[in-house]
Amino acid sequence: MLPNLTIDSRRLWEMLMETARIGGTPKGGIRRLTLSDEDRRVRDWFRAECEALGCTVHVDTAGNMIAIRPGKDNARKPIAMGSHLDTQPTGGKFDGVLGVLAGLEAMKTLHQAGYETQSPIALINWTNEEGARFSPSMVGSAVYAGALTQAQMDACKDRDGVTQGEALDAIGYRGTVAPGAIGFAAYFELHIEQGPVLEEEGRTIGIVNGVQAIKWFTGQITGRESHAGTTPMTYRRDALSAFAEAVVAMRQIALDHAPGMATVGIVSAEPGSPNIVPGTVKFTLDTRHPSNEVLGEMVAKIRTAFEEAATRHKGVADIQPLQDSPAQPFDATCVAMVRQAAEKIGVSARELTSGAGHDAMYTARVCPSAMIFVPCAEGLSHNETESATQDDCAAGAQVLLEAVLAYDARG
């Protein structure tokens, strides 16, 4: 039933290396901040490549670029692939870029074979996935899915006071299409894992079944500052000892709720002198779990652990919500197609829940979506030394193409 089309591993790799020069850094990474001149250059390149394949490139008012290759029945909604071409300030060559270029390679493979799909096929470059220049992240897909308004997107300012709207106009990528006006039958996104699981288990493909729930908090433990040389251990109200006990408990709670995660990424002790017992400890708390319900339980236990630890040290803990992103499961049919595609090409695969947010998190709100992960060396990402192999990138691109073709074949 399905055609046997094989993507060109070397052509994909050469595109990755070629576009990596647009904003390329001496350490081998990419600095291609959203809506910068480098972003404009890679967008121009992307538009030209798509148009050379006979695609029509639509740009919406959020700057999202949607290249569409016609199918036999253009009344059908396109089946979409995509990711983002913007990077972190010291980003790598694969985060986001791989998803777009693998989609482009799939388009080239279809074009070269003269293969006509039933549905049109779309390839998307989402605006500002990284959120590094303008916060928040995943802006283009959020506006597409109606989670953010165009006005909210336009109003964000970078550190120089330039608004996102001004930057979009300045590079000439403010299109006329209303975000969301072009609907998709389904959306598939290939991305590097940005975690260590596939590499550690020696697998090639992650079948991503959703994005986990994320809750962020800011925390503070208040005890009493005192002299480190004159305050016996038993008289102290040491905010840092309370914090340490809570962090140990927090880790165990996360382990007990595997695959839950809990992380303190920022911590400071005040007043911050070697010979003063800290009276205050401030910290951030990042908690995640694929299930909203289990994450709620985890957070309640972690909160209690901080409160109990503070009480043991005659202090108080205050944990305040900072950000709350519910779990976003992916579409079962799309996920099944990714699984079958991995089986078809005969690579080792496992199901994963994405730990990080991706554009597919927003597309999943408006159309059936799924993601494909490939390994990256040591799980390292947002780093100029980010690395993935040519074979793994090619396998990911092949699975992407197979999944799209399978979705197309269901009619």
In the complex, which residues of this chain contact a second copy (CB under 8 A)?
193-197, 200, 212, 214, 216, 224, 226-235, 238, 240-241, 243-245, 247-248, 251, 254-255, 258-269, 272-278, 284-286, 288, 322, 354-357, 378-382
When the beta carbons of 25 and 226 are compared against a second copy, the nearer one is 226
d(CA 51, CA 245) in angstroms, rounded, equals: 59
Q: How far is the CB of 249 from a second copy (least distance, A)?
A: 9
Q: Coil, strand, or helix at residue 270?
A: strand
Nearer to a second copy, 240 or 367 (CB): 240
Q: How far is the CB of 367 from a second copy (least distance, A)?
A: 24
CB of 402 to a second copy, least distance (A): 25
Integer Cα distance of 228 and 210 in angstroms? 49
**Calpha distance 83→115 (Å, rounded):** 23
109 sits in which H/E element: helix 97-113
Residue 79 or residue 246: which is nearer to a second copy going by CB? 246
Report d(CA 297, CA 320) in Å as an integer. 16
Cβ neighbours around 217 below 10 Å, total: 21
> How many Å is the Cα radius of gyration of the chain?
24
Please spell the DSSP secondary structure of 156-210, one letter per residue: -B-TTS-BHHHHHHHTT---SBPTTSS--SEEEEEEE-SSSHHHHHT-SEEEEEE
Q: How far is the CB of 373 from a second copy (least distance, A)?
A: 9
Q: How far is the CB of 124 from a second copy (least distance, A)?
A: 23
Looking at the Cβ atoms of 107 and 261, the one nearer to a second copy is 261
Q: Which is nearer to a second copy, 176 or 230 (CB)?
A: 230
Q: Using CA atoms, how far apart are residues 179 and 224, in angstroms rounded to an integer?
A: 53
Closest approach, Cβ 406 to a second copy, in A, equals 27
Beta-carbon-side half-sphere exposure of residue 196 (alpha carbons within 13 Å) = 2
What's the min distance (Å) between Cβ of 392 and a second copy?
16
Q: Give the Cα separation of 350 and 283 in Å (integer).
A: 34
263: nearest Cα among 247, 244, 249, 282? 247
267/316 with CB nearer a second copy: 267
The residues with which 217 forms a beta bridge, in sequence order, are 285, 321
Nearer to a second copy, 42 or 246 (CB): 246
Q: Which is nearer to a second copy, 70 or 196 (CB)?
A: 196
Q: Which residues contact 178 (CB under 8 A, 6 or more apart)?
A: 60, 61
Task: Find the shortest distance in angstroms from Cβ 282 to a second copy.
Answer: 11
CB of 292 to a second copy, least distance (A): 15
Which C-beta is closer to a second copy: that of 4 or that of 234? 234
CA distance linking residue 336 with residue 323, whole number of Å:
31
Q: Which is nearer to a second copy, 75 or 233 (CB)?
A: 233
Rounded to a whole number, what is the distance in angstroms from the first to the last CA of the chain? 12
CB of 306 to a second copy, least distance (A): 12
Residue type, 153: M
Residues whose CB falls within 8 Å of the CB of residue 347, separated by 6 or more in sequence, listed in order:
203, 204, 205, 395, 399
Tell which residue, 87, 114, 89, has the closest CA to residue 99.
87
The minimum distance between CB 219 and a second copy, in angstroms, equals: 11
Q: Which C-beta is closer to a second copy: that of 110 or that of 361?
A: 361
